[in-house]
Amino acid sequence: MTRFNLVSRLILAATLSAALAACSSDEAARGGADAAAGAGAGAGGATAAGQLDPGSIEYFRTAVGDTVWFDTDSAALSAEAQETLRRQADWLLRNPGINAVIEGHADERGTRDYNLALGARRATAARNFLIGEGVAPERLTTVSYGKERPVALCSDESCWRQNRRAVTVAAGAPLS
């Protein structure tokens, strides 16, 4: 496992822990009224215990993982990317009413046209993997943003690495 992959996983674990802690704190601050009343799913798809609804978009983003990353000038899926896409496919198969748009992105280096083409190849690679895992092709569309929508703004490898990605955006599920 590369150092970046380990750091990414640690950041994801810390983020999920903080999110769950915040949910617990919010529940305690409200006095646990929903839980005490025996409510099932609360507003926005959260359960009475403050956990995310497994069919929600927020669950997809945080627990399943909506992003896969790529090496420079590559649309090849790493083992880690394939594992994330397997989780996405499982989630999409359990939620058949939900479609997804797969966004392809690139870092700032290279021309606009080159990066649009590279983003398209990355989105297509993710889409093809999901189809190979059993997701119906008509549920998946792709779009390339090239270098036009960076998540990190700086001109060094730490930012470029974050911007070389494909993001699966689920549509049709509750938000949280």
Q: Residue 160 is part of a domain; what is its CATH number?
A: 3.30.1330.60
Model-wide pTM > 0.75: no
In this structure, which amino acid lies at residue 124? T
70 occurs within a structural domain: yes
37 occurs within a structural domain: no
pLDDT digits (tens, 9 = 90+) for 96-139: 999 999 999 999 999 999 999 999 999 999 999 999 999 999 99
5 occurs within a structural domain: no
pLDDT value of residue 98? 95
Lowest-confidence region among 35-49, 50-64, 89-103, 134-148: 35-49
pLDDT value of residue 29? 35
Cα 54–chain centre separation: 14
Confidence of residue 175 (pLDDT cuts 50, 70, 90): confident
pLDDT digits (tens, 9 = 90+) for 1-34: 444 454 455 455 545 444 444 443 333 333 333 3
108 occurs within a structural domain: yes
103 occurs within a structural domain: yes
124 occurs within a structural domain: yes
40 occurs within a structural domain: no
- Residue 73 domain boundaries: 52-171
Task: Please give the tally of structural domains in the chain.
Answer: 1
